[in-house]
């Protein structure tokens, strides 16, 4: 198989897995939840030199570093799921910023699987359309919000939209990529943001929103927060402590489920938003 054939195979497998688990093609998904549904144990550990590891067995296991940004950890988890789906055997991944063309066959396949699982074209386009925007002429703010909605990194989404989906050209992607995220968050929030920012709107997808203690949420007028994990501040809400919350958003039928994780949490991923849980 050439790289084009491998990419098609990865996208096909990702679409099949989504369908088997009951996810719509345009629906954002959480790779941790998918791993749990497949009976795969996911653990987070403070490993500075490791991105992720997959080990087949009974049960199979994925280990992720807790020291990387949340979006990167989710992509790495999906990458390790790719090794599982394609039966690659035990893998230890130091996912350096290596382009697809220099990856070996199995790494390329797992990378494309992860992208197709988290960012299928329909999901990307639909996330823009729901907000009255276009995936082919996006603003930097729109790309940021869609990346947060899909649960992936800002640059990860830009690269995928440019190199894989061909929704935007290289010139546009390069221009948007130059934006410094701290400045972008401050511009959207109207104040400096120390951690991550989540501008929530009625178009937010159905995936449970995973945030970490210290992250900030911007909510639309009339939104109601239920639960003590989120605390109001002068301009939004702060993720205060590990736990769960719900947000009732005007114009949105179902309440948005929010899961707050301790920052740099170590342990089984399924316990990441539970208070003081020893495993």
Domain boundary pick from 98, 118, 138:
118
279/262 Cα distance (integer angstroms): 15
What pLDDT score does 240 carry?
Answer: 95
Number of structural domains (the chain) is: 3
Q: Is-contact 19 120, C-beta < 8 A?
A: no
Question: Residues 6 or more apart from 82 whose CB is under 8 A from it?
Answer: 10, 13, 88, 109, 110, 111, 112, 113, 114, 117
Q: Which of 168, 155, 165 is nearest to 120 (CA)?
A: 165
**Could you tell me if 77 and 175 lie in one domain?**
no
Q: What is the pLDDT of residues 13-46, one digit of tens each?
A: 999 999 999 999 999 999 999 999 999 999 999 9
What's the rounded Cα separation, in Å, for the pair 85 and 151?
A: 21
Peptide bond into 59 cis (omega under 30): yes
Sheet holding 243-248, edge to edge: 209-212, 256-261, 243-248, 224-226
In a domain, 132, yes or no: yes
Residue 111 lies in a domain: yes
Contact indicator for 179, 231 with CB cutoff of 8 Å: no
Question: Which of 28, 208, 17 is closest to 123 using CA atoms?
Answer: 28
pLDDT value of residue 203:
94
- pLDDT at residue number 98: 46
61-73 exposure pattern, b = at least 16 Cβ within 10 A, e = fewer: bbbbbbbbebbbb
Which positions of the chain have pLDDT values less than 70? 95-102, 276-279
CB-based contacts of 20, cutoff 8 Å, min separation 6: none
**Residue 103: partners with Cβ closer than 8 Å, 6 or more residues away:** 111
Tokens in use for 262? Answer: 């301790």
Q: What local confidence, expressed as pLDDT, does residue 80 receive?
A: 97
Are 237 and 263 members of one domain? yes
Q: Which residues constitute the domain of residue 203?
A: 191-271
Residue found by looking up tokens 């729901």 in the block: 130
Ranges of beta strands (E only) in the chain are 41-45, 52-55, 61-65, 91-93, 197-199, 209-212, 216-218, 224-226, 230-232, 237-239, 243-248, 256-261, 267-268
> Do residues 11 and 95 share a domain?
yes
Q: Are residues 20 and 98 in the same domain?
A: yes
Residue 216's pLDDT is 98
pLDDT for position 276 = 56
Task: Kindly report the backbone phi and psi dihedral angles of residue 199, in degrees, each rounded to the nearest multiple of 5, phi listed first.
Answer: -80, 100
- Whether residues 11 and 107 share a domain: the answer is yes
What is the pLDDT at residue 49? Answer: 86
If asked whether residues 206 and 239 sit together in one domain, one would say yes
Q: Are residues 152 and 219 in the same domain?
A: no
184 assigned to some structural domain: no
| Same domain as 112, residue 25 | yes
Query: Could you report the per-residue pLDDT of 211-221, keeping only the tens digit for each?
Result: 999 999 999 99
Tally of CB atoms within 10 A around 226 = 13
Q: Percent of the chain having pLDDT more than 70?
A: 96
């Amino acid at each position: 198989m050439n790289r084009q054939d491998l990419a098609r195979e990865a996208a096909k497998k990702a679409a099949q897995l989504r369908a088997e688990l009951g996810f719509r093609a345009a629906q954002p998904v959480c790779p941790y939840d998918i791993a749990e549904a497949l009976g795969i144990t996911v653990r987070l550990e403070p490993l500075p030199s490791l991105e992720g590891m997959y080990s087949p067995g009974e049960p199979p296991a994925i280990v992720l570093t807790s020291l990387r940004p949340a979006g990167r950890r989710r992509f790495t988890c999906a990458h390790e799921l790719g090794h599982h789906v394609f039966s690659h055997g035990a893998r230890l991944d130091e996912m350096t910023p290596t382009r697809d063309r220099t990856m070996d066959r199995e790494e390329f396949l797992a990378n494309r699987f992860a992208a197709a699982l988290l960012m299928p074209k329909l999901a990307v386009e639909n996330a823009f359309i729901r907000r009255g925007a276009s995936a082919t002429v996006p603003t930097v703010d729109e790309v940021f919000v869609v990346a947060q909605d899909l649960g992936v990194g800002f640059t990860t989404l830009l690269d995928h939209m440019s190199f894989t989906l061909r929704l935007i050209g290289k010139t546009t992607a390069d221009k948007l990529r130059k934006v410094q995220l701290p400045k972008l968050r401050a511009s959207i929030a109207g104040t400096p943001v120390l951690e991550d920012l989540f501008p929530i709107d009625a178009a937010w997808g159905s995936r449970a929103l995973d945030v970490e203690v210290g992250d900030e949420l911007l909510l639309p007028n009339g939104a109601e927060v239920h639960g003590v994990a989120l605390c109001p501040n002068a301009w939004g809400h702060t993720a205060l402590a590990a736990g769960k919350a719900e947000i009732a958003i005007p114009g949105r039928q179902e309440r948005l489920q929010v899961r707050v994780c301790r920052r740099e949490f170590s342990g089984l991923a399924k316990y990441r938003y539970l208070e003081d849980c020893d495993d």
